[in-house]
Structure 1
Amino acid sequence: MRTDSYVEPSRRTVAEFLAEWLTTIEAAVKPTTFANYSTYANAYVIPIIGPRLLQDIDTATVNALYRHLLNSGRSRADTNTVMYQRWRQATSTGRTISAAELASHAGVSRSAAANAIRRYRVGRIPAALTTGLSPSAVASIHIMFRRALRDAVAWRYLTTNPAAIAQPPRGEKQPHKTWNPQQLATFLQHARHERLLAMWLLFATTGMRRSEAVGARRDALDMAAGTLSLVTTHVIAAGRTQISSGKTRRSRRLISLDAATLAALRDHLATLDQERAAWGPNYQDRGLLFCWPDGRPIYPDTITEQFGRLVTQASLPIIRLHDVRHTYATMALRAGVNPKIVSTRLGHATVAFTLDTYTADIPELDRAAAEQITGLFLPPPTEA
């Protein structure tokens, strides 16, 4: 007699199931989530166990997959190392290599190659990558695969989820790479003549995400009230820019702006008006706060490339654009700003998440707490 847990025997493979699963969930998840899941499935799971029957997959198989990915799972070429090796080979013989030649050799964009040449000229040499994926990358693949196999159980393709009790690797939580106040000030000083200075200031003074900056709308800026409403974001999914509504409900928020940022925004708005007048009927008005001079949206990766260029030119320690957000958060907490306010301004889901994220970055706060609390009931030690 068949029971509710009965599953029809099937010759369905892992690859066939994941293809069906991705098609099914595409409309139910955010574009960036779908793009990530597609990459995880097609680049890391299907090439290894795709031909195997779905119903033959057990927890041991899943654990073996994770071990393989940790040891030799890197499938994408390290284009930075490829470019550096070609650049070094050329320069060692006294030849100047062009960005176009380097881009063609490594299969990257010309702007990416130009940025790489600038890095190499100031001594920023890429570190060699291992053949395996990082523990955090494998953990992300596990999240995708566990969810997919959970749906396989719901669809009665499997009786149990073999990934539910699998053992993905746990990466050690490392402090974020951040700048100190002087380094952030140096960056802003170097960017003072940039057309997008106001955007760089917003990153520094609010900790907003890249997607929020490129998706910010002009009509969401209230200069009189000194606020900016962050509702729309522009994210990259499958190589294309897509409009989204933010990572979470709390990501959609109203933030107050300081006087210096408002002054820069005032100048920026005047520039936008001048550009609109200069382009006349050819201006492509999308209502964006930050755009190209003709009104077209800025591709998010272009902002990252410009950030890297400015960091290199200013001879600052290399950090990611997203690390400016971490810099803002750690500076705010060190300055004694209420964690609830910091969490709200960053658009985090909870204050607990904010504190858990940045505790390792600010060990002196724990030391200060120890001294402050003890001082309530113990007298200060006497000097010998």
Structure 2
Amino acid sequence: MTKRDTSGQITELERGRRYSIRVRLAPDDTHAAWHWSKSRKVYGNKAEATAALVAYKKELEDSQAGRDITVGEYAAAFQSGRKALGKVSPLTLERDQHEIDRITKYLGNVRVTDLDAQTIEDAYLRMSELDGASPDAIHKVHMKLSQIMRKAFLEELVDRNPCDAVEGVRRPKVSPQKRRETRITKEQALAFVRKLRQEPQDGRIVAVWLGVATGLRRGEALALVWDDIDLEHARLRIRKQYGKEKVLKDPKTTKSRRTISIDAQTVEFLTRWRDKQHALFAEAGVSQSSFSPVCSNELCGFLDPDNFSRWRRQFFVKEGLAHYASETTYIDRRGIERTRRTGYVGPNFHALRRAQATLLVAGGVDPKTVQARLGHESLNTTLNIYAEEVGENDRKAADYMGKLLEG
């Protein structure tokens, strides 16, 4: 049964339970005559279907009024909406803003309804030529633009996501050489731990130890206070992270907030450091408390993440884990000869986290336990590490069988 008036239509699909509604629309830029909107299913009784039709009319009127919205305006609204909902971490919002700024720069004045694959491809070409954007950077922009335009499609501003028609934008594969250069193997990790034991303890060395021994992210390690460390029961809690904003904030994801066990060597390492830090704080006239940072700086405060990363790169080079692509000497204004090193080649702090995961996998720890310890939001992240490790073990298995068959 269908009820029609000059502006809307309700069609009964299942008596008293399911209806289809659509709205009569006036001529516009793409339609020369009156036309029907897309149909929409409504579950409920007739009164609910009528109310839904009224709401649908209002929605379409608002949408029609907003058909002139530009990509820049829509992207800004998209970002503001995610921030207001609070379902995305501040760190993710901050990282996404870089891609949104590029989208706004190159596509900001284009109407959402006019955006097509050719316009997008032309924008990517200009990003590459004018900004020097790498294939990886363009891939990140494309993923973010596709997410934004999917929302526009779901809100029925566009009939399809134009990003789906853009070809050739793929995430560049990491070369085998770069993968080797940025990875810390099991053997390197174990040798590195032995060297760490011989280093004079300070907050930076402690942060690196925690990266290897527990797989903490840099921000998680730098955010630890002594109240998070339970040496008696050999465990620590990850409740905060400390990033470049230099404020304590919530962890990256809900699964990042966790409590993990620590080994006896780490308990001994942290106990020695706590005692040493107590003495250092006393010399500076500061009282060590449960809220003192574990990875403290020379001023008894939290380590600056950027300064720590600069030190960490130099430390990795000193320990043979990395090198600089270029070294040049020069004379400064005071006549002192100095060395400028550029082009760091080697692992970052996150590589310690991956090394921890690889060591756990090699030790036969199951994927769910590894996921929980590292705070991986998705099990797939953990399983990818397993797949890599299984590949290595498979070669060892084949070599072992070859030796057996020789006899």
Structure 1 segment 153-172 matched on structure 2, within 5 A: 153=153, 157-164=157-164, 166-167=166-167, 168-172=169-173
Aligned to 1:46: 104
- Relative to 1, partners in 2 of residues 1:274 and 1:60: Cα closer, same or farther, differing over 3 Å? same
Contact 2:124 2:138 in 1 (8 A): yes
Q: Are 1:72 and 2:129 an aligned pair?
A: yes
Aligned to 2:297: 292
Contact 2:357 2:385 in 1 (8 A): no
Which amino acid is 1:32 matched to? L
For 2:406 and 2:394, the matched residues in 1 are separated by 23
Aligned to 1:82: none
SS in 2 for 1:241: coil
Give 1:35 deviation, angstroms. 1.0
Give 1:205 deviation, angstroms. 1.2
Which of the two has higher C-alpha Rg?
A: 2
- Relative to 1, partners in 2 of residues 1:68 and 1:333: Cα closer, same or farther, differing over 3 Å? farther
Q: Are 1:204 and 2:190 an aligned pair?
A: no
Contact 1:283 1:294 in 2 (8 A): no
Q: Deviations over 1:293-350 (max 9, x none)?
A: 4432222222211211211223333211111112222233234333333332222234
Q: Are 1:349 and 2:377 an aligned pair?
A: yes
Give 1:275 deviation, angstroms. 3.5
Q: Deviations over 1:170-209 (max 9, x none)?
A: 3326664322355332476267114123322111111211
Which amino acid is 2:146 matched to? R
For 2:350 and 2:107, the matched residues in 1 are separated by 34
- Relative to 1, partners in 2 of residues 1:262 and 1:281: Cα closer, same or farther, differing over 3 Å? closer
Q: 2:95 aligns with which of 21, 36, 40?
A: 36
Aligned to 1:269: 274
Contact 1:149 1:162 in 2 (8 A): yes
Count residues with an aligned counterpart: 316
For 2:268 and 2:97, the matched residues in 1 are separated by 43
Aligned to 2:46: none
- Relative to 1, partners in 2 of residues 1:132 and 1:38: Cα closer, same or farther, differing over 3 Å? closer
Q: 1:311 aligns with which of 307, 310, 316?
A: 316
Give 1:362 deviation, angstroms. 5.6
Aligned to 1:151: 151
For 2:282 and 2:200, the matched residues in 1 are separated by 22
Contact 1:66 1:138 in 2 (8 A): yes
Q: Deviations over 1:102-153 (max 9, x none)?
A: xxxxxxxxxxxxxxxxxxxxxxxxxxxxx44133x33322232222223334
Name whichever of 193-202 and 335-344 sits farther off. 335-344
Aligned to 1:329: 357
Q: Deviations over 1:196-224 (max 9, x none)?
A: 23322111111211011011221111111
Q: Are 1:16 and 2:69 an aligned pair?
A: no
Which amino acid is 1:324 matched to? L
Name whichever of 321-330 and 152-161 sits farther off. 152-161
For 2:165 and 2:292, the matched residues in 1 are separated by 49
Name whichever of 211-220 and 314-323 sits farther off. 314-323
TM-score by length of 1: 0.70
Give 1:50 deviation, angstroms. 1.9
For 2:386 and 2:307, the matched residues in 1 are separated by 28
Structure 1 vs Structure 2 CA RMSD: 3.3
Aligned to 1:62: 120
Q: Deviations over 1:225-254 (max 9, x none)?
A: 111111211233xxx234333222222222
Which amino acid is 1:339 matched to? P
- Relative to 1, partners in 2 of residues 1:243 and 1:153: Cα closer, same or farther, differing over 3 Å? farther
For 1:243 and 1:154, the matched residues in 2 are separated by 36
Which amino acid is 1:12 matched to? I
For 1:21 and 1:219, the matched residues in 2 are separated by 39
Name whichever of 197-206 and 346-355 sits farther off. 346-355
Contact 1:31 1:242 in 2 (8 A): no
Give 1:370 deviation, angstroms. 6.6
For 2:200 and 2:286, the matched residues in 1 are separated by 28
**Unaligned stretches of 5+ residues in structure 1:** 76-130
- Relative to 1, partners in 2 of residues 1:282 and 1:288: Cα closer, same or farther, differing over 3 Å? closer
Which amino acid is 2:109 matched to? P
Structure 1 segment 163-312 matched on structure 2, within 5 A: 163-164=163-164, 166-167=166-167, 168-172=169-173, 176=179, 177-184=182-189, 185-186=191-192, 189=195, 192-196=199-203, 197-236=205-244, 240-280=245-285, 286-312=291-317
For 1:216 and 1:174, the matched residues in 2 are separated by 35
- Relative to 1, partners in 2 of residues 1:187 and 1:258: Cα closer, same or farther, differing over 3 Å? closer
For 1:315 and 1:173, the matched residues in 2 are separated by 22
TM-score by length of 2: 0.67
Structure 1 segment 115-154 matched on structure 2, within 5 A: 131-135=132-136, 137-153=137-153
Which amino acid is 2:360 matched to? A
Contact 1:153 1:160 in 2 (8 A): yes
SS in 1 for 2:246: strand
Which amino acid is 2:229 matched to? L
SS in 1 for 2:260: strand
Name whichever of 46-55 and 329-338 sits farther off. 329-338
Q: Deviations over 1:8-64 (max 9, x none)?
A: 16433222332333333333321111111211111x222222222222102333344
